[in-house]
Amino acid sequence: MIERLKQSMQALETLSRAQDVTANNLANINTPGYKAQKLFYQAFQKAVDGQQVDVPETLETASSTSGEMQKTDNPLDMAINGKGFFLVNYDGRSVLSRNGRFHVDSKGFLRDSNDAYVQGKAGSIYIPELRSGATNAANAKLQVSKDGTIQLNGAMVDQLQLATVSDYQNLSRLNNSYMTTKDGSNPLPDTQSTVSQGFYESSNVDPLKEMISMTTNMRLFETQQRTMRTMDEILGRISSSLGKF
């Protein structure tokens, strides 16, 4: 019976974590490029009383499905077709992102909506001709080809550095916009994905699916709570009965 209580406690912890994941997914419905998180379970062996037993472990991974492409006709908005990521420099570290809502800062660097520096083959992409107040900035023609090559008025500027990972389960969320690899390995160059200019990728969160998940989690949580109350009552009766002898 004590073991049953332990199992119920573990179930409550898992359901609480699942609810947090669902709530965070719903909170990021409008975050460009956001990848919904989901839980999965993995068994590992653990020594208990001298015996090896299988113990379930709850892990998180990012959904690999793509969000819908939103057309903006803004030449600085870019979306990835495929499983790849933009490589950006955020707080001095290289991270992965699907958020392609870019802008050129006052110094001429291409940055995303969180002000991370978008990386190209030559480093942080620099387009001083498009910075605010630059001469003829309004008439400059920016073109981005499917392979990420950036041209300004017909002259090559740089090429977007696209990256990927061999296994999505190796991705770890840094925040709601960026990801890194769990094992610290470097992402791989992505030669399969393509870039669409004038679009950005919306969040891939399915609100109906998340609401159903939230309702299911709440019901299961309440079931486990009732089970624990029943076990507690039974243990209380057993203790009272033993006290009579």
Q: Where are the domains of the chain?
A: 1-29+207-245, 69-201
Contact 179, 205 (CB under 8 A): no
- pLDDT at site 98: 95
- pTM of the entire structure? 0.78
- For the chain, give the percent of residues with pLDDT over 90: 53
More confident residue, 205 or 231: 205
199: alpha, beta or left? (left if phi > 0; alpha if psi -120 to 50): beta
Structure tokens, 156: 């090559």
Contact 205, 34 (CB under 8 A): yes
The C-alpha atoms of residue 10 and residue 227 are separated, in whole angstroms, by 13
The C-alpha atoms of residue 46 and residue 88 are separated, in whole angstroms, by 40
More confident residue, 185 or 74: 74
Residue 204 pLDDT class (50, 70, 90 cuts): very high
- pLDDT at site 201: 96
Q: For the chain, give the mean pLDDT.
A: 85
The C-alpha atoms of residue 20 and residue 43 are separated, in whole angstroms, by 22
Contact 76, 142 (CB under 8 A): yes
Q: Tens digit of pLDDT for each residue in 91-133?
A: 999 999 999 999 999 999 999 999 999 999 999 999 999 987 7
- pLDDT at site 238: 64
Helix (H) or strand (E) holding 148: none
